[in-house]
């Protein structure tokens, strides 16, 4: 990644993402016929279970973003990933009350061995054989629609 500032100011973020969608990545991680979810500690959807993921930064390849996001969200490395679909969040409201439109590429992902941990954005990480009730609605719908393809 080129040497650029990686964070937008609040003013720039509001200007840019009130006008164009932002690109994100989400990771479907299956282990022992269970899906790995993390419990959000921040808004939006604080207290809800969701797929690990994050935003792609300017100048960052999908590969670089994948490695950075998984390392920061779970503390391990990616062994392999396969694009399995996308999710769209056309009416998302961020922690500052800004309405944004996000599009997230979803990857079926295999992780390297290691202790999986959380981050400052998630309270805990757990494996689920059945999706929890308090699930991010877009992630929950995506997993329900594709469950038979992920769990074999």
Domain ranges of the chain: 10-150
Residue 5, pLDDT score: 53
Distance of alpha carbon 106 from alpha carbon 138, whole angstroms:
12
CATH fold for the domain made of 10-150: Nucleoside Triphosphate Pyrophosphohydrolase (3.90.79)
Residue 120, pLDDT score: 74
* CA 34 to each of CA 111, 113, 128: distance values in angstroms, whole numbers, following the listed order: 14, 16, 5
Beta bridge partners of 117: none
* CA 91 to each of CA 12, 83, 101, 112: distance values in angstroms, whole numbers, following the listed order: 19, 24, 6, 35
pTM summary value:
0.89
Distance of alpha carbon 152 from alpha carbon 149, whole angstroms:
7
Distance of alpha carbon 31 from alpha carbon 49, whole angstroms:
17
CB 150 within 8 A of CB 35: yes
pLDDT in tens, the chain (152 residues): 454 556 678 788 788 888 889 999 999 999 999 999 999 988 888 999 999 999 999 889 999 999 999 999 999 999 999 999 999 998 887 767 778 899 999 999 999 988 888 777 777 999 999 999 999 999 999 999 999 999 87
The angle at the Cα of 118, spanning 35 to 129, to the nearest 5 degrees, equals 15
By the 10 Å C-beta count (0-12 exposed, 13-18 middle, 19+ buried), 8 is classed as middle
CB 112 within 8 A of CB 32: no
């Amino acid at each position: 990644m080129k040497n650029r500032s990686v964070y937008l100011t609040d003013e720039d973020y509001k200007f840019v993402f009130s006008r164009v969608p932002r690109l994100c990545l989400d990771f479907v991680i299956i282990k022992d016929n269970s899906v790995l979810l993390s419990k959000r500690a921040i808004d939006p959807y604080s207290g809800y279970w969701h797929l690990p993921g994050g935003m792609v930064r300017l100048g960052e390849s999908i590969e670089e973003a994948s490695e950075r996001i998984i390392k920061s969200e779970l503390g391990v490395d990616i062994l392999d990933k396969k694009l399995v679909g996308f999710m769209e969040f056309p009416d998302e409201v961020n922690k500052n009350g800004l309405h944004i439109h996000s599009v997230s590429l979803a990857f079926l992902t295999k992780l390297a061995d290691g202790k999986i941990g959380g981050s400052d954005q998630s309270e805990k990480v757990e494996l689920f054989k059945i999706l929890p009730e308090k699930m991010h609605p877009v992630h929950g719908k995506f997993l329900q629609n594709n469950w038979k393809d992920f769990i074999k």
